[in-house]
Structure 1
Amino acid sequence: MDGTIPTGQLGPVLERIGAICAEKGLRVANVFHAGDGNLHPLILFDINKPGELQKAEAAGDEILKLCVEAGGCLTGEHGVGIEKRELMRFQYNQTDLEQQMRVRNVFDPLWLMNPAKVFPLEGRIAA
């Protein structure tokens, strides 16, 4: 996962990431590009423990929302994909999303390229 933040927010955001994971009984290893605010928090969990994956995914969502709240965005270099597509509503309002979909329609009117990625599933608009 990756999210970005303004570099001046690095300290407070890293502190909050640690707290988010601790609240869920998880540990985190923060890897990041300090110079450009690109964060790669590695949430540590045991896949063999029931509920751990769900806790890790919930922590990831909270961390990405924190990035947006801090003045950053959902992704810095890894794209949106399936993992972040429902969070697009947190960063963009409906008007912004519709405009982005209109641009996509120009280049891919049948939505064949990378289907079901980037935009919330019910988000596709008519060409």
Structure 2
Amino acid sequence: MRQPASIEVYREMWHGFMGWCLGQSPAVSLTSLDASDLQAFQSARFGTKSADLSLSPRHALRLMRLVDRVLRHHAAQMGEAPNTAVTDWLMEHPEVRYAEASSADPLPDFLSIAEAKHLIAFLSSARPRPG
């Protein structure tokens, strides 16, 4: 995050998030922030992009990482345990947590015949046979 353009993007992301936090009643602080607040923020973003889409999973992940870094920095400055709101929220939202995974291919619904035979052979060789 050393490029001026990147710094500006993250600054705007943070200002948007903090503006939302301060606009809540009661205001959401770094110490009171929890996973339900993050969900409410994500839900509030629905419809703010073209084509009526909420934050893309990659954008949401980047924002969550930024929030997590700020929370950790704040905790270190205050000598407190870090707020786990981001981790908790990401655990509930795998589509965001894995947004930057190199492969988003779904797992197969079933094994092919060759894969099933290979698995059976492997498992059978590991189990001792009677007699």
TM-score of the two chains, using structure 2 as the length reference: 0.33
Larger Rg, first or second structure (1 or 2):
2
TM-score of the two chains, using structure 1 as the length reference: 0.33
Indicate the structure with greater strand content.
Answer: 1
Indicate the structure with greater helix content.
Answer: 2
